[in-house]
Amino acid sequence: MWSGQQAGALRNKITLLPHRSPSVTPRWDLGGLPAILCRLGNLEVRLATSKKEIRRAQRLRYKVFFEQGSAVPDRTASLIRRDICRFDRVCDHLLVIDHAATGTRFGMRKPKIAGTYRLLRQEIAERNFGFYSAQEYDIGPLLARQAGKRFLELGRSCVLPEYRNKRTVELLWQGIWAYVRYHGVDVMFGCASLEGTEPAELALPLSFLHHHAGAPDGWHARALDSRYVAMDRLPQEAVDARKALAALPPLVKGYLRLGATFGEGAVVDHQFGTTDVLVILPVAAIEQRYTTYFGQTAERRAA
């Protein structure tokens, strides 16, 4: 994902918080986990600690998904100019803050929110609405087969166009990794999106994921029958891997580099103008060089 020289330079600049024991806490009581997870220059990754910060994340999502993207807002979202979802009330929200860029709202200047990620731990999901991905995929058998492992659902990822670079992606993953280690997460998963709602037009990338990155036995999950769209639209010999990778969104390519595999079947989301795939990423499967890189940064700070 990054060259050795880039990684070395970033290791010297990023501050990442130390690993601590997992803890289940009420909303916004982080149980000892500091809100600020890591920094890189003027950029900071932190957890939202108030309804105001979550509303700011929702406004960012509205701008990226509905104003800049092809998603179609419902009446409520159009009126309040926020992407709202009931899962927001029970998730943790990771924010990328740019302290060098400020905006004015109601006469007050605030650092700019450049990106956000929504995090839902299994114990929180089970006490509330379940996982968001269960609206598209039958994940119950997967959870049952991997009973005893702690799952973390990643979702609602978005970054402003001017921040879609390696530096921001690096920082986001540092924040996620700090969160994963703190809570003792064993598996990350969630729906990732390809632009467009015509699977035939996405035949190449969907077929590539099906043939070359399908989840192995024990990690299999299938799209709900009512929403299932076949991914094996081309035979394996017809898939040009180089062209397929070029057609994949950066987020999906990032998951692949970390060792992710994908569920069976895609799901068309007409509201958001996307075709979704299920990402499954056991922490143990993350390639050793990334685990070592993230871990070393954390341990240096702990020392």
Cα separation of 223 and 241, whole Å? Answer: 24
- Would you state the pLDDT for residue 24? 35
Question: What secondary structure does DSSP assign to 24-83, as a single string?
Answer: --STT--TT--SEEEEETTEEEEE--SHHHHHHHHHHHHIIIIIISS----HHHHHHTS-
pLDDT band at 10 (very low <50, low <70, confident <90, very high): very low
Q: What integer is the mean pLDDT of 23-28? A: 44
Q: In terms of CATH architecture, what is 4-302?
A: 3-Layer(aba) Sandwich (3.40)
Task: Say if CB 18 and CB 155 are below 8 A apart.
Answer: no
Q: What integer is the mean pLDDT of 177-190? A: 95
pLDDT in tens, 246-301: 999 988 998 999 999 999 999 999 999 999 999 999 999 886 666 666 655 544 43
- Would you state the pLDDT for residue 16? 42
pLDDT in tens, 38-97: 998 899 999 999 999 999 999 999 999 999 999 999 999 999 999 999 999 999 999 999
Average pLDDT over the chain, rounded to whole? 86
